[in-house]
């Protein structure tokens, strides 16, 4: 159970939790997920480590940010992230912006002594991620890189089984993250298809999750061989337009991984797996057992154990909603399943716990060091694809 979710039961004593002032930069997809989580935590997880006081929200479009303010319930809005960072009521900066806007606000927030949660991937490359890591370490603030899949109960159970030795010696890690939301060549450009705004394509957006799971479940990655590919070279500048703009990132990436402690792994990430929605397969094989997880079946973990009697050996489907499972005591009765948004509630609960206690989010949560090391792997994979050679990874921190 080390480092795994342990929460108070919903019948805890009545207490007045402290409040923490939150400033959110970026109001779209992740801003919405984070805001919902901040607000909903106390409905189910009482007493919360801290109640998020939604102080300020920032975005570039004045009309849209004003609408988001009233919809999510922030006290004020601004179009200047610097103003949000300088706001004395803001104790925590939540950076939910596109990847090119992670660096500067995070550096400023650290310099202002604010605790920070930043969306993944941390930087557009390892240099940016390292600068952010050094800034938060210098400032001594609490920091978290928002790898929300660490907060899926089934994956926390997987980690527990691996750490308890139920899989024996680990041989293989396998991740395949497949989406198809942008398989249509006429689906328009967004920041996700530009190198200057995104850094990488599927590799950064999806691959960073897979690399994080690899590191969190198995351990540090020592070398990588990779191949990246762009299938759709240009896209309409906006929906319905005849004008097209070049895509400057990958649509898909493949990799071979060698872990420092011996296991080997494969990685496949793609935005062009027609029919797949958010299919994130994770498999681990060890000398005693195996695990299988797919994000489209978020509540389930398939487990094979050679220690089972021979006549019942086979993959068992575990519905990870029992009281004994991670987060099992705070949710609905067993079998009343959880969804994707709950991962953000678990994540924010964990982050607020660290903020309230002035501590770190590790080992359960991802720190900026995890974000930096993740970037080193992604950069190595891209370099390997360019050069056709295996890349031995070095971590400066
Ligand atoms: C992209 O479609 C995306 O939303 C990622 O940005 C998220 O990180 C991932 O969880 C789901 O897919």
pLDDT tens digits for the chain (397 residues)? 344 554 544 555 566 899 999 999 999 999 999 999 999 999 999 999 999 999 999 999 999 999 999 999 999 999 999 999 999 999 999 999 999 999 999 999 999 999 999 999 999 999 999 999 999 999 999 999 999 999 999 999 999 999 999 999 999 999 999 999 999 999 999 999 999 999 999 999 999 999 999 999 999 999 999 999 999 999 999 999 999 999 999 999 999 999 999 999 999 999 999 999 999 999 999 999 999 999 999 999 999 999 999 999 999 999 999 999 999 999 999 999 999 999 999 999 999 999 999 999 999 999 999 999 999 999 999 999 999 999 999 999 9
Say if strands 115-118 and 143-145 run parallel, antiparallel, or are unpaired: parallel
* CB within 8 Å of 308: residues ≥ 6 apart: none
- Please give the model's pTM, rounded to 2 decimal places: 0.96
Question: Which ligand 1 atom minimizes the distance to the CA of 149?
Answer: 10
Q: How far is the CA of 122 from the centre of ligand 1 (A)?
A: 14
Question: Which ligand 1 atom minimizes the distance to the CA of 209?
Answer: 8
CA 245 from chain centre, in angstroms, equals: 29
Q: Please give the Cα distance from 31 to 252 (Å, whole number).
A: 26
Q: What residues does 235 pair with on adjacent strands?
A: 245
Ligand 1 proximal residues by C-beta, below 6 Å: 179, 181, 205, 278
**What is the DSSP code (8-state) at residue 192?**
G
Q: How far is the CA of 206 from the centre of ligand 1 (A)?
A: 6
Strand, coil or helix: 132: helix
Q: How far is the CA of 205 from the centre of ligand 1 (A)?
A: 6
Q: Please give the Cα distance from 149 to 157 (Å, whole number).
A: 12
Question: Which ligand 1 atom minimizes the distance to the CA of 208?
Answer: 8
- Domains with residue ranges and CATH for the chain: 19-148 (3.40.50.720), 153-297+299-338+367-387 (3.30.360.10)
Residue of 69, 9, 10 lying closest to 35 (CA atoms): 69
From 205, 209, 340, 342, give the residue whose CB has the most ligand 1 atoms within 8 Å, as the site to mutate.
205
Query: If you write DSSP's letter for every residue of 243-297 in order, what string do you get?
Result: -EEE--S-SEEEEEEEETTS-EEEEEEES--TT-SSEEEEEEEESSEEEEEEGGG
């Amino acid at each position: 159970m080390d480092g795994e979710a342990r929460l108070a039961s919903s019948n805890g004593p009545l207490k007045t939790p402290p409040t923490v002032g939150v400033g959110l930069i970026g109001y779209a997809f992740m801003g919405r997920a984070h805001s919902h989580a901040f607000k909903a935590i106390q409905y189910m997880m009482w007493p919360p480590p801290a109640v998020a006081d939604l102080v300020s929200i920032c975005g570039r479009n004045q009309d849209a940010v004003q609408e988001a303010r009233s919809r999510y319930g922030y006290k004020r809005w601004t179009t200047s992230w610097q103003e949000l960072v300088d706001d004395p009521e803001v104790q925590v900066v939540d950076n939910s912006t596109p990847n090119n806007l992670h660096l500067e606000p995070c550096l400023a927030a650290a310099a202002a002594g604010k605790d920070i949660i930043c969306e993944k991937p941390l930087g557009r490359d390892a240099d940016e991620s390292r600068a952010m890591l050094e800034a938060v370490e210098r400032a001594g603030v609490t920091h978290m890189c928002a790898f929300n899949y660490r907060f899926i109960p089934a994956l926390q159970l997987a980690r527990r089984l691996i750490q308890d030795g139920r899989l024996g010696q680990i041989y293989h890690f396998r991740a395949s993250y497949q989406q198809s939301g942008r398989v249509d060549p006429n689906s328009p450009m967004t920041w996700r298809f530009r190198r200057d705004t995104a850094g990488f394509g599927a590799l950064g957006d999806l691959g960073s999750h897979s690399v994080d799971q690899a590191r969190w479940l198995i351990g540090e990655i020592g070398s990588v061989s990779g191949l990246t590919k762009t299938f759709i070279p240009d896209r309409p500048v906006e929906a319905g337009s005849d004008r097209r703009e070049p895509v400057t990132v990958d649509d898909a990436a493949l990799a071979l991984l060698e872990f420092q402690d011996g296991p080997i792994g494969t990685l496949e990430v793609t935005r062009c797996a027609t029919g797949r929605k958010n299919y994130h397969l994770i498999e681990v094989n060890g000398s005693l057992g195996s695990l299988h997880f797919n994000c489209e079946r978020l509540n389930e973990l398939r487990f094979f154990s050679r220690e089972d009697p021979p006549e019942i050996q086979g993959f068992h489907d575990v519905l990870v909603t029992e009281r004994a499972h991670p987060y099992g005591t705070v949710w609905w009765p067993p079998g009343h399943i959880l969804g994707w948004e709950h991962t953000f509630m678990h994540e924010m609960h964990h982050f607020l716990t660290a903020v309230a206690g002035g501590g770190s989010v590790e080992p359960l949560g991802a720190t900026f060091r995890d974000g930096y090391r993740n970037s080193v792997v992604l950069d190595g994979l891209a370099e390997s694809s360019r050069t056709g050679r295996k890349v031995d990874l070095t971590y400066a921190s």
